[in-house]
Copies of this chain bind each other. A is one copy, B any other.
Amino acid sequence: MTYGKPITLADAKKIVAAAQAEAIKNGWHMAIAIYDSGANLVLLEKMDNTQLGSIEICQQKALTSVKFRRATKAFEEAVEKGGMNLKILSMSNVIPVEGGELIVKNDEIIGAIGVSGALSAQDTQVAKAGLAAL
């Protein structure tokens, strides 16, 4: 898949609003970041009472996703297999924790979303709820 134009702030806001609605519905406190197709930060929102560590983690998830053009869950599953795949832990620009998803429009990557704050499967659930709004 190719990189396309950078996501607009308007699209980023739509995605984050939908993601936050999902988080609120479940009583989760989360930090959510959107990076564009050039790996530059476009939008970050930290909900009240989110664990402070999530501010960095949500950015790392989105960056991993856009820089390697895949959901971070792919790296998480590779690490789970162990063995040779543990090499992934040494890649300083990869966080192998699910909750980072590509944002695709007209078959091109326009950015990525990263979510952190709850269990990582819940982070993915919130990220996907955000993507569904686009």
Residues in chain A within 8 A of chain B (CB atoms): 2-3, 6, 8-10, 36-49, 51-53, 55-57, 60, 64, 66-69, 75-76, 79-80, 82-84, 86-97
Contacts and interface: CB of A to CB of B under 8 A. Distances in A.
Given A79-B86, A84-B80, A68 B92 contact: no
A84 B79 CA distance: 6
Judged by DSSP, the binding face of A is mixed
B93 A56 contact: yes
Contact of A38 (B6, B86, B88): B6
A90 B94 contact: yes
Q: How many copies does the complex hold?
A: 4
A38 B39 contact: yes
- The list of the 10 closest CB pairs from A to B, nearest first, reads A38-B38, A53-B67, A80-B84, A44-B44, A52-B67, A53-B68, A87-B96, A51-B69, A89-B89, A87-B97
Contact of A47 (B9, B52, B95): B9
A68 B56 CA distance: 11
B42 A46 contact: yes
Contacts of A9: 45-48
Nearest to A70: B51
